[in-house]
Amino acid sequence: MYDVAIIGGGPGGYAAALYAHNFELSVALVERAEVGGTCLHLGCIPAKSWIHTAEVFAEVAGAAESGVIASAPTVDWERARQRKNAVVAQLHKGLLGLLKQRKVEIVPGTGRLAGPGIVDVTGEAPRRLEARKVIIATGSMPRSIPGYEPDGVRIVTSDHALDWTAQPRRVAVIGAGAIGIEFAGFLAELGSEVHLFEVLDQILPGAEPEAAKLMNRLLSRKGIKITTGVAVDPPVMGPNDITITAAGQAVEVDVVLVAVGRAPVTSGIGLEEAGVKLDRGYVIADRRTMLTDAPGVYAVGDIVAGTPQLAHAGFAEGIAAVTHIATGTPAPVEYRAIPFVVYSLPEVAWVGLTEAQARQAGHDVVTFDHGIGGVGRAIIRGSAQGLVKIVTERGGPILGATVVGPEAGELIHELMYAVGWEALPAEAAAFIHAHPTLAEAVGESLLAASGRSLH
Ligand code: NAI
C-alpha cells in the first residue's frame, strides 16, 4: 500500500512525486512513456532549444551592428536537433536521478483508476497498485480541426515539428496562440517562409491588445505573413504542395503545423466510473485542494478544468495536492499571479489581469504604458522594441502587467510579486532598479503608475 499513486509523470505528476518526500510519503508514479511528460519531451524544453538556436542565428546575423564581423550564418539543422535532444536527455537523466534519490517508484505502463485507492497498470508488466490517495496527472494532447487531421508528415502538430529532420521551406501555421507564435517566430528567424492563420481578430488572443498588435508588427517585419479574423478552408493536398485558402486567398506550402489548442487526456482511464466529474473532458477539481468528486482522488495539470495549461501551473497544483494529502489543510495555488510567457523573439509575458479582464471584474481601472525605446540597455542590445503595461485599481493596487521585449519572461517576475502582494504602485516604485538594466523599463513604468515619472 502506497501513500500516493500518481497516474502521469509530466510536470504535474512528477512535481507531486518529488514534493512528497517533504512529508515522507511513499509514492508510485505510473508513466506509459517517459517521465518528464510533454513539457520535457515534446513541449517547453525542446521548443526553447529551437528558439535558442534561432536567437543565436539572429545574433550572429546582426553582429556587424555591434562591430563584430562574422561570416553570414547558415543553419545546421541536424546539429541544432542533436543539441535539442542532448538538452532533453540531460534534463531527463537529472529528473530520473532526483526521483530515485527521493525513492519514488516509477511504474511503467498505462494507469487506470479501478476504484477508490486502486490503480490498475497495463503494459509489459501489468499490476494492481493500492494507495491511500490517487493523483491523476495525465496531461493533454494537441487538438485538430476538420480537414487538418495530422499525418505526422505533411500535416503535423508540435509533437512532430519539434523533431523535424530537415528545415521546412514553406510552412502554414494554424493558430496564433503560444505554440503557433513560438514556432512561426523561430522558423521565420531561421529562414523558412511562414504563413500564420488565426481565426480570431488578434494573435495571442489572451494577451493585452497593445502587446498583440506590437507582436503582429514585429513578426510581420520578420517576414511572417499573418492572417487574422478568418477561418482556413480545408487543405488541398497536391502531390508536392499543400494549398491553404482563407477568405479566397490561397497560399502553397510544404507542411502545415496545427496549433489550435490542447485537449485533456481523460478518457478510457476509469475516471467517470470512479465518480470523477468531467466538464467537456476536463476534470472538475476543488481549486483549494485539487480534490475531485471521487473520494481520495486528486487532479493536477493540463486536465484540470478552468486553470492554465502551463507546466508551472502543473508544478504548483502537484504541490497543492500533496500538501493537502499530507496535512489535511488546503494550500491553494495562487492562480491570481501565475506568469504567462510566450518565448517569441522578443518575448511576451503577462501576469494577473489584463485591462479588459480587470474592467470585466468590476474594477475602476487605470493603466500605464511605457515603451522600452529609451531604455539604454535595450538600445545597446539592439532590441529596443517593446512595452510595459501596468493595470491598476484607481488609487489602489497593481492588478496585472504585461511586458513585451527582450527577456520579458524574466522581467515579468518582479511584477508577479507586485500583483501577488497587491502592491500599490508607489510601494513598488519605492525600490530602485540598477542602471543600466532592462528591468529599468519596469521601474520607469512603476514610477509612472505611482504618478511621478522620471524619463
Ligand atoms: P492556444 O489555445 O493558446 O491557442 C490556439 C489558437 O488557435 C487560438 O489563438 C485560437 O483562436 C486559434 N484557433 C483555434 N481554432 C482555429 C482555427 N480553426 N483556425 C485558426 N486558428 C484557430 O493553444 P496552443 O498555442 O496550441 O497551446 C496549447 C496550450 O499549451 C495552451 O494552453 C498554451 O498556453 C500552452 N502552451 C504554453 C506555452 C507557453 O507558456 N510558452 C508554449 C506552448 C503551449
pLDDT, one tens digit per residue, over 23-79 is: 999 999 999 999 999 999 999 999 999 999 999 999 999 999 999 999 999 999 999
Q: How many CA atoms lie within 13 A of 240 on its CB side?
A: 2
Q: Which atom of ligand 1 is the closest one to the Cα of 175?
A: 7
Active-site residues, by number, are: 435
Answer whether 260 contacts ligand 1 (Cβ < 6 A).
yes
Determine the pLDDT at residue 455: 82
> Which atom number of ligand 1 is nearest to the Cα of residue 342?
41
Segment 291-302, tens digit of pLDDT: 999 999 999 999
358 — pLDDT class (breaks 50, 70, 90): very high
CB 205 within 8 A of CB 177: yes
- Which atom from ligand 1 is nearest to the alpha carbon of 232? 19
Residue 107 has which C-alpha cell?
Answer: 511504474
- Output the CA 259–ligand 1 centroid distance in Å: 6
Is it the case that residue 337 has pLDDT exceeding 90? yes
Ligand 1 contact via 230 beta carbon (within 6 Å): no
Domains by residue range for the chain, with CATH: 2-142+263-335 (3.50.50.60), 155-260 (3.50.50.60), 346-449 (3.30.390.30)
What is the pLDDT of the chain when averaged over all its residues? 97
Question: Is the sign of the CA dihedral 402, 405, 407, 411 positive or negative?
Answer: negative
User: How many angstroms is it from 142 CA to the middle of ligand 1?
Assistant: 9
Q: Quote the ligand 1 centre to 180 CA distance (angstroms).
A: 7
User: What is d(CA 119, CA 346) in angstroms, rounded to the nearest whole number?
Assistant: 45
199 close to ligand 1 (CB < 6 Angstrom): yes
**What are the strands, taking DSSP E only, across 100-169?**
105-108, 110-115, 118-122, 127-136, 140-142, 155-156
Q: How do residues 68-117 score in pLDDT, each as one tens digit?
A: 999 999 999 999 999 999 999 999 999 999 999 999 999 999 999 999 89
Does any ligand 1 atom lie closer than 6 A to the CB of residue 179? Answer: yes
pLDDT of 88 reads: 98
Q: Is 39 in the pocket of ligand 1 (CB under 6 A)?
A: no
pLDDT at residue 56, as a whole number? 98
Does 200 sit in the ligand 1 pocket, CB within 6 Å?
A: yes
pLDDT tens per residue, range 178-207 = 999 999 999 999 999 999 999 999 999 999
- Alpha-carbon span 406 to 59, nearest angstrom: 13
Percent of the chain with pLDDT over 90: 98
Q: Is residue 127's pLDDT more than 90?
A: yes
CB proximity list for 428: less than 8 A, separation 6 or greater: 398, 418, 446, 449, 450
Atom of ligand 1 nearest to the CA of 204: 9
Percentage of residues in the chain having pLDDT higher than 70: 100
Contacts of 66 (CB under 8 A, 6+ apart): 382
Question: Taking residues 425-432, what's their average pLDDT?
Answer: 96
Ligand 1 center to residue 208 CA distance, Å? Answer: 16
Q: Which of 157, 163, 141 is nearest to 37 (CA)?
A: 141
Residue 296 grid coordinates? 481520495
pLDDT in tens, 220-255: 999 999 999 999 999 999 999 999 999 999 999 999
CA 239 to chain centre: 35
